[in-house]
């Protein structure tokens, strides 16, 4: 018994729709996994920026990895933060690029300063003894 052209078109359309939904579900699942895996590093980064915004440089500094603390004393960091309010006085953050490889998380996005300017940034965090700590924080090119 031969299928009519209309039935064949409907079957093909159904298969195509099912394929599109399946691809979307897989892509959404991957996006969700990355988003969830980076939630804690993003939280630590935002905590760091909230501390610098209110001028609590000691708390912000406590979120640095020990290796970054060894490279940059608290006084040097505090001076840098005070001299760069466009980066360290933040009203909003957006991290559109997030990746984790082994125990290193890289966040790339935009900071909106309390004065309204936007600055692209790259933040690298390391997981040390179950705690995410900032290893590098800089303007992004």
Per-residue pLDDT at 1 exceeds 70: no
Choose the CATH number for 40-139 among 3.10.450.100, 3.90.1150.10, 3.40.50.2300, 1.10.287.540.
3.10.450.100
Within 13 A of 35's CA, how many CA atoms are on the CB side?
Answer: 8
Mean pLDDT of all residues in 54-81: 97
* CA distance readout (Å), 140 to 5, 33, 85: 56, 25, 16
| Residue 136 CB burial class (10 angstroms; 0-12, 13-18, ≥19) | middle
Domain edges within the chain? 40-139
Tell whether the model's pLDDT for residue 37 goes beyond 90.
no
**Residue 14: pLDDT band by 50, 70, 90 thresholds?**
confident
Calculate mean pLDDT across residues 54-77.
97
The structure tokens 């988003």 sit at: 35
| Tens digit of each residue's pLDDT (9 = 90 or more) over 73-117 | 999 999 999 999 999 999 999 999 999 999 999 999 999 999 999
Helices (H), the chain: 5-37, 39-53, 57-62, 66-71, 74-83, 85-88
Task: Give yes or no for a contact between 97 and 120, defined as CB atoms under 8 angstroms apart.
Answer: no
Q: Residue 15's pLDDT is what?
A: 72
Residue 35: which pLDDT band, with cuts at 50, 70 and 90? low
Here the tokens at position 67 are 């290796």
pLDDT given for residue 7 in this prediction: 78
pTM, entire model: 0.76
Average pLDDT in the chain: 88
């Amino acid at each position: 018994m031969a299928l009519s052209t209309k039935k064949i078109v409907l079957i093909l359309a159904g298969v195509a729709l099912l394929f599109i939904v399946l691809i979307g579900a897989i892509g959404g699942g991957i996006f969700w996994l990355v988003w969830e895996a980076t939630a804690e590093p993003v939280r630590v980064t935002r905590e760091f920026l909230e501390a610098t915004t209110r001028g609590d440089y000691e708390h912000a500094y406590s979120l640095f990895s020990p290796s970054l603390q060894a490279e940059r004393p608290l006084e040097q960091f505090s001076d840098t933060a005070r001299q760069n309010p466009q980066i360290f006085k933040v009203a909003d953050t957006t991290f559109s690029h997030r990746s984790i490889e082994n125990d290193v998380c890289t966040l790339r996005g935009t900071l909106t300063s309390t004065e309204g300017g936007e600055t692209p940034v790259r933040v690298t965090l390391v997981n040390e003894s179950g705690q995410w700590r900032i290893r590098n924080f800089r303007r992004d090119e």
